[in-house]
Amino acid sequence: MTGLWVALAAIAIALVFGTFRALTDGRFRGTHKPAGHPSLVEEGRHPSLVEEGRRARLETTAWTQLGAAATSTELGERATLVQFSSAFCAPCRVTRRVLSDVAETTPGVVHLEVDAEHHLDATRRLGILRTPTTLILDPTGREIARAAGAPRKDQVLATIPARDLT
């Protein structure tokens, strides 16, 4: 009789956890405001994007924290989609398709896939706990949002910064 209760409890836990995951997977949560965010403009402290970019390159950004994992690509002029993947990850494949589709159809957007287990330093520095995790970087390389789990195309498009920042 105990065994039956244990079984029901295990199934209940799985259903609650799985439902929570299904609802939150792929949702982007903002981490930093993009360069040229309206609030900075209003305060009259908004430097030109070039200056901002120059300053940001000297700062520690998500892009610099990628280190060796990011040498092969330039930052996108509008956004860079950094996808952390691993070998044993079914939703990584779907995510790759969605993000490369966005990169191919949206000018100035670059997709970069990082194998998390071969870049554990970057994985730790950026606090990646799951694959797939997608970071959206602004043109200066700062992280503006991240999503754990496979995002849908509309979720990506709604989160990448507006085309005209100047």
Partner 1 sequence: MSTTASARTGARPEAGSGIDPRGPQFNAAVTVVVLVAILVTAGTAVGTVLTAVQAALFAWGAIGGVQTTIHAKVFKALIRPRLASPDHLEDPAPPRFAQAVGLGFAAVALVGFLVGGTTVGTVAIALALVAATLNAVFRFCLGCEVYLLIKRATS
- Kindly tell me which of 39 and 71 has the beta carbon lying closer to partner 1: 71
Cβ–Cβ under 8 Å, residues 82 and 134: yes
Handedness of CA 140, 127, 30, 42 (dihedral sign): negative
Q: Which is nearer to partner 1, 21 or 30 (CB)?
A: 21
Contact 36, 166 (CB under 8 A): yes
What residues make contact with partner 1 under the rule CB under 8 A? 2-4, 6-7, 9-11, 13-15, 17-18, 21-22, 69-74, 76-77, 85-90, 93-94, 96, 99-100, 103-104, 106-120, 123-124, 128-131
Among 88, 99, 84, residue whose Cα is nearest residue 131: 84
Taking the complex as a whole, how short is the minimal distance between the CB of residue 154 and partner 1, in angstroms? 18
CB–CB of 87/114 below 8 Å? no
CB of 141 to partner 1, least distance (A): 14
Q: Nearest approach, Cβ of 88 to partner 1 (angstroms)?
A: 4
